[in-house]
A and B are shown apart, each in its own frame.
Chain A
Amino acid sequence: MKVLTKCCIEGKRNIFNLLPVSCRSDFKAIMCSIRKLSTLAKRQYKTYIFLMIFPFISSSGSESDEDSMSEGEMAALKEEVEEKKKVIATLRNQPWRMKKRLVVLKEAQEFVEKFEGALGKGKGRKLYAYKVMMTKKLIKFKRDFENFKTACIPWERKIKEVESHFGSSVASYFIFLRWMYGLNLVLFGFMFGLVILPEILMGLPYGSIPRKTVPREEQETAMDYSVLFDFGGYCKYSFLFYGYYNNEPTIGVLKFRLPLSYLLVGVGIFGYSLMVVIRTMARNANEGGDGGEEGDFTFSWKMFTSWDYLIGNPETADNKYASITTSFKESIVDEQENQKDENIHLRRFLRVLANFLIVSCLGGSGYLIYFVVKRSQEFANMKKDNLSWFEKNEVEFVMSLLGLVCPPLFETIAELEDYHPRIALKWQLGRIFALFLGNLYTFLFALFDEVTAKLESEKVIKNSTEWVLNQYYSNYSSFYNTTDVPPPAVHPSDVIRGPCWETGVGIEFVKLIVSDIQVTYLTILIGDFVRAVIVRFLNYCWCWDLEAGFPSYGEFDISGNVLGLIFNQGMIWMGAFYAPGLVGLNVLRLLSSMYYQCWAVMCCNVPHERVFKASRSNNFYMGLLLLVLFLSLLPVVYTIMTLSPSFDCGPFSGQEKMYDVIMETIEKDLPAFIGNLFSYATNPGLILPAVLLMVLALYYLNAVSKAYQQANTDLKKKMQMARDEEKNRRNNKDSTNQVMKDLEDLLPNKSLIPPPTEEEPPPPDVVIEKGSKSPKMKPGAAAKGVNLQKDVSLAAPNPRAPVTRAPGPRKGPPGNARGPQPGPGRGRGRGGPPRH
């Protein structure tokens, strides 16, 4: 290479300098035409050219021809360097051996290093070199950061253990749990950092103002365990709940705007969650593959994708072998016999009956919850001591009970329906979802009634407080004869309090979630652990085999657990606005859940017997989560927009509506033009066109997507048709073309069937027959000269090729016939009688 360069230096310099200026542009043209060559040839050619012009672009600076380096050369060199960089970047994707990859990488890196620095010239060179160095440093930093981030992912080893024992579908639950934990951690960060911490650090301390103090009548019982477990007493008047927060517009030295921050964080939690969920859904959708139809490749997929390479445990492997075998046998049976058409009417009747039963169950559970919540309102009015524990926690108890009892009930009723297992699972998930949703919303409605009742009573208290205050002022001024009246010196715990409905709602949510946690953990403990202990130890002295028959060890209920997680998250989203401490509680719950459930799964569960195809369900669960997010957004937004906040507790006390805080901030604190901007933006004249535009955009995108889908199905159909054509042509040797079929039937000789394709060696008969072509020709047939051999070797045999020989006399089927026997004398070249 070096020798070549040397020789070329002289030659090139001479040539280039000898070129008149007008021709130097030709050099540029040559470079442009080089670009049109194929990539590989181009690369080799360019490398050669660059070696030639290397002295001109060397950084030695001694060459005075630097100015003559045309733009084309620079650009070409740059392109070459970019290509090498691309090779380095895509090296990972090439299916080469490691050695080859290393060699190519080294080569490319050397090239890039050599020529990259040389690209910059003159004044720009230093800057260019600096830019290059910074880019390299940035890439290295990014890579190290990514490594660090992946090293920080928690519980990787634990999940791997679960995965190797139970397969990827059970592990997907834990991966989902971990993802939720991450989400909640971020939400907790927001809530804690922007709301709770400022109030604790910069706000007024406990006991200074009425809303932060336990009222006098509750003070004796404020530290009791029972009261604390009900989240009353000191819990109620702490930073965990809405009522603690003061409504001063700014607090502390930093003038932190707490009410504004509270509102924005409350709404921002939803915004962030929405963003994260949609981003994850999009990512899953990309990786999910372009969902081909289910029936297309059943057996192929079963064969090549059913073995889970993650399995690292002999017991699981045994189970997997068994389930794969069963699955194959099932598919074979499916394939061999057609579905018998059973009594459709009976099936339909049973399905309608089952749906009716389930709907009535759902209705019953909804009514039960409503009834219980109403009763709890009555209980709240009675004295606390007369109530038993059961009566105090009736609502939560009933809701958890329904969540436990109804799903198995649905499953039993669903057996009437006799669906395919996958469809049955979807129905089951849908029904459980409806159950949870119905329960939650009934609970909310009942709560809402309570809230309106509290608002009514608040008005009364407000009036009475104002009346007392007026009395005090008038007495004071009349007694002391001044108008400068100091505020009444009443101890904060003695002040008359309003009912503070937001804290009440917050407390209800927290109690619900805590009872949900308790029920989940207890179910795992009893349903899995105690059951496993009983089965293991009682088996020695029991009549039938407990492990093989009833009850045996439990399997991990993936869908139930995932749904529970999703609904728990929905309740957190709903309650976080009224109880800022709830998000922290959830973080703790998810953390403990991870360890507890990992232990329970490894200790008490057995792998599933049946192959659970949960792979496409990832986006299904994310979709559910999105739905739940929207549904939990509604109540919060409704309360922010329509209900008026309590007058004496929380950061919005004293306002008409909660969002007035934003209005105030815009008016008082931000510059005037932003206020104008907002007033313009909220003008209906602007909003309506914007909404119209969005609707039109939606319609357009929908139409485009439909067009793509249609094009997709058309292409698929075409491909399928082409395949079928080829197959038929190969297998049957009958023309698949209807016209040809008809023509065949008309002709007496039936000799228009195409000869066999080129893969099969032309039978010796053909050769012999060609040689001894009968002089008798069919009247009107084509001339003798037609080469039959050529026809046989063509890829697409033309069925309309001319007939060249008369059919021989009918005889029995020849010895070496291929494919279906059309009968003697049919088709050219088929073992007809050579000897006649």
Chain B
Amino acid sequence: MGNKQTIFTAQQLFDRYRDLAPQLVPLDYTNHPDVKLPYELIGSMPELKDNPFRQRIAEVFSEDGEGNMTLDDFLDMFSVLSEMAPRDLKASYAFKIYDFNNDDFICKSDLEKTLNRLTRNELTEDEVRMVCEKVIDEADLDNDGRLSLEDFQHMIVRAPDFLSTFHIRI
């Protein structure tokens, strides 16, 4: 990828950030004002509002872990989710997103939550359990019953769809 720039310039991103709450965000950022937009505003962006993981995304990229994002966090988020971000970077952030309890491991309960969000609770208990067991079976290399970052990365870098689906265009 080399020196390729992101498709959107910083100015465009700043404009998008500001558009979410024009009364909160000042036009002049040279004094590094400490402005945080609450999660509700971020989650209502058209790119994110249909995403079942929008809350997790906001939590992972926000400084306080609650989903309230500063401009830096906002830039960070769209930079990682852009087309140009390297695969390993995306994989590590994807891991954080799917780790619901923030314990640096994707355990069975995290998997169940992910699956339920993906299927909107349409699958039965048995089916959910079966799928989660299968996933751990497939991807858990060090056999501790949960996916560590290395397990996750090892599995996701081989996925043909990962780069094209883990991508938001703004």
Q: Digit string of B12-51 for contact with A (CB within 8 Å is 1, else 0)?
A: 0000000000000000000000000000000000110111
Q: 9 nearest interchain CB pairs?
A: A98-B72, A292-B158, A317-B50, A299-B134, A305-B161, A325-B119, A98-B76, A95-B92, A325-B122
Query: Nearest residue in A to B120 (C-beta to C-beta)?
Result: A321
Contact in complex: A299, B138 (CB < 8 Å): yes
Given contacts A303-B111, A303-B118, A727-B143, contact A147 B5 (CB under 8 A): yes
A291 touches B160 (CB 8 A): yes
Q: Which residues of A contact B50 (CB under 8 A)?
A: 311-314, 316-317
Binary contact readout A271-309 vs B (1 if CB under 8 angstroms, 0 otherwise): 000000000000000011111100011111101111111
State how many angstroms separate the Cβ of B87 from the closest Cβ of chain A: 8
Q: B5: which of A150, A296, A306, A723 is its contact (CB, 8 Å)?
A: A150
Contact of A305 among B73, B92, B159 (CB under 8 A): B159
Residues B85-125 near A (CB distance < 8 A): 86-89, 92-94, 98, 111, 114-115, 118-120, 122-123
Interface CB pairs A-B, < 8 A, 10: A97-B72, A168-B165, A296-B138, A301-B155, A303-B111, A307-B118, A309-B51, A316-B50, A325-B119, A726-B143
The main secondary structure of chain A at its interface with chain B is helix
Among A164, A296, A308, contact of B165 (Cβ-Cβ < 8 Å): A308
A533, B93: Cα distance in complex, Å: 45
For residue A106, CB closer than 8 A to chain B, the reply is no
Contacting pair B72 A95 (CB below 8 A): no
Residues 139-196 of A contacting B (Cβ, < 8 Å):
139, 142-143, 146-147, 150-151, 153, 156, 160, 163-164, 168
* B17 nearest CB across to chain A (Å): 13
- Do A102 and B72 touch across chains, with their CB atoms under 8 A apart? yes
A147 touches B130 (CB 8 A): no
Are B166 and A93 in contact (CB-based, < 8 A)? no
Known contacts A95-B89, A289-B157, A310-B167; A304 and B5 CB within 8 A of each other: no
* A333 nearest in chain B by CB position: B127
Q: Is the CB of A301 within 8 A of B118?
A: no
B118 vs chain A, min Cβ distance (A) = 5
Contacts of B73 in A (CB 8 A): 97-98
A324 at the interface (CB under 8 A from B): yes
* Distance of A156 Cα from B170 Cα, bound (Å): 10
Complex alpha-carbon distance, A317 and B118, angstroms: 10
Q: Select the residue from B50, B86, B119, B135 with max chain A CB neighbours within 10 A.
A: B50
> Does the CB pair A160–B76 fall under 8 Å?
no
CA distance A321 to B121 in the complex (A): 10
What is B's interface to A at a CB cutoff of 8 Å?
3-5, 7, 9, 46-47, 49-53, 63, 72-73, 75-76, 79, 81, 86-89, 92-94, 98, 111, 114-115, 118-120, 122-123, 127, 130-131, 134-135, 138-139, 141, 143-144, 152, 155-169
> What distance in Å separates the Cβ of B134 from its nearest Cβ neighbour in chain A?
4
Task: Tell me which of B122, B162, B169 has the highest count of chain A C-beta atoms within 10 A of its own C-beta.
Answer: B169
Besides A93-B88, A328-B127, A332-B130, 10 other A-B contacts (C-beta < 8 A): A97-B63, A102-B72, A289-B162, A290-B157, A291-B160, A297-B158, A300-B159, A305-B159, A305-B165, A730-B143
Q: Please, which residues of chain A bring their CB within 8 A of the CB of B152?
A: 304
Question: Nearest Cβ in chain B — how far from A51, in angstroms?
Answer: 29
Q: Which residues of B contact A329 (CB under 8 A)?
A: 123, 127
Q: Is A99 an interface residue (CB 8 A)?
A: yes
Rounded to whole Å, the gap between the CB of B33 and the closest CB of chain A is 14
Within 8 Å CB of A332, what residues of B? 127, 130-131
* Contacting pair B155 A300 (CB below 8 A): yes
The reply to whether the CB of A615 lies closer than 8 angstroms to some CB of chain B is yes
Q: Any chain B CB within 8 A of the CB of A335?
A: yes
A685-744 residues with Cβ-Cβ distance < 8 A to B are: 723, 726-727, 730
Count of A residues near B, CB < 8 Å? 62
Query: Which residues of A are found within 8 Å of B119, using beta-carbon distances?
Result: 321, 324-325, 328
Known: A142-B3, A299-B134. A309 touches B161 (CB 8 A): no
A303 and B72 contacting across the interface, CB-CB below 8 Å: no
Given the known interface contacts A97-B63, A300-B138, A321-B119, the answer about A146 and B4 at a Cβ–Cβ threshold of 8 Å is yes
A613 within 8 A of B: yes
Known: A98-B72, A98-B75, A304-B94. A312 touches B47 (CB 8 A): yes
| Least Cβ–Cβ distance between A632 and chain B, in angstroms | 30
**A287 touching B163, Cβ below 8 Å:** yes
- Contact B160–A288 (Cβ < 8 Å): yes
Across the interface, which residues of B come within 8 angstroms of A297, CB to CB?
Answer: 138-139, 155, 158-159
Q: Assess whether A324 is in contact with B118, with CB atoms less than 8 Å apart.
A: yes
Find out whether the CB atom of A613 lies under 8 angstroms from the CB atom of B161.
yes
Contact pattern, A 92-129, Cβ under 8 Å of B = 1, otherwise 0:
11110111001000000000000000000000000000
Minimum C-beta distance from B150 to chain A (A): 13
Minimum distance in angstroms from B119 CB to a CB of chain A: 4
Are A305 and B156 in touch, CB under 8 angstroms?
A: yes
Least CB distance, A298 to chain B, in whole angstroms:
7
Which A residue sits closest to B71, measured CB to CB? Answer: A98
* Shortest distance between the CB of A405 and any CB in chain B (Å): 34
Contact (A304, B98) CB under 8 Å given A150-B7, A311-B50: yes
User: Does B165 contact A146, Cβ atoms closer than 8 Å?
Assistant: no
CB atoms of B53 and A307 under 8 A apart: yes
Which chain B residues lie closer than 8 Å to A139 at the CB level? 3
**CB interface residues, A 801-833, toward B, < 8 Å:** none
A592 to B7, CA, bound (A): 25
Question: Which chain B residues lie closer than 8 Å to A312 at the CB level?
Answer: 46-47, 49-50
B161 lies within 8 A of A301 (CB):
yes
A143 adjacent to B5 (CB under 8 Å): yes
* A328–B76 alpha-carbon span in the complex (Å): 32
A97-B76, A98-B76, A314-B50 are known contacts. Are A328 and B131 too (CB-CB below 8 A)? yes
B115: min CB distance to chain A, Å: 6
Task: Find chain B residues with CB under 8 A from A723 CB.
Answer: 141, 143
With A95-B89, A300-B139, A314-B50 as contacts: A309 and B165 at CB distance below 8 Å: yes
Interface residues of A in 577-634 (CB under 8 A from B): 613, 615-616
A289 to B50, CA, bound (A): 28
Closest-by-CB residue of B relative to A313 is B50
Contacts of A291 in B (CB 8 A): 158, 160
Q: How far is the CA of A168 from the CA of B86 in the complex (A)?
A: 19
> Known contacts being A95-B92, A297-B138, A308-B165, is A303 close to B131, with CB within 8 Å?
yes
Would A298 and B138 be within 8 Å (CB), given that A309-B167, A325-B122 are in contact? yes
A309 contacts B166, CB within 8 Å? yes
Complex: chain A residue closest to B151, CB-CB: A300
State in angstroms the CA–CA spacing of A147 and B3 once bound together: 11
| Pairwise interchain contact A146-B5, C-beta atoms closer than 8 A | yes
Contacts of A335 in B (CB 8 A): 130, 134
Q: When chains A and B are docked, how far (Å) is the Cα of A99 from the Cα of B119?
A: 36
Determine the residue in chain B with the shortest Cβ distance to A172. B164
**Distance in Å from the Cβ of A361 to the closest Cβ of chain B?**
33
State the Cβ distance, A609 to closest chain B Cβ, in Å. Answer: 16
**Chain B residue with Cβ nearest A151:** B9
A97 neighbours in B (Cβ, 8 Å): 63, 72-73, 76
For B57, the closest partner residue in chain A by CB is A309
Q: Which residues of B contact A301 (CB under 8 A)?
A: 155, 159, 161-162
**Would you list which residues of chain A between 615 and 658 have a CB under 8 Å from chain B?**
615-616
Best-surrounded residue of A92, A297, A299, A730 (most CB of chain B within 10 A): A299
The complex places the Cα of A726 from the Cα of B63 at a distance, in Å, of 39
Complex: A304 Cα to B93 Cα, angstroms: 12
Instruction: Return the chain B residue nearest A731 by Cβ.
Output: B143
Chain A residues positioned under 8 Å from B86 (CB to CB): 92-93
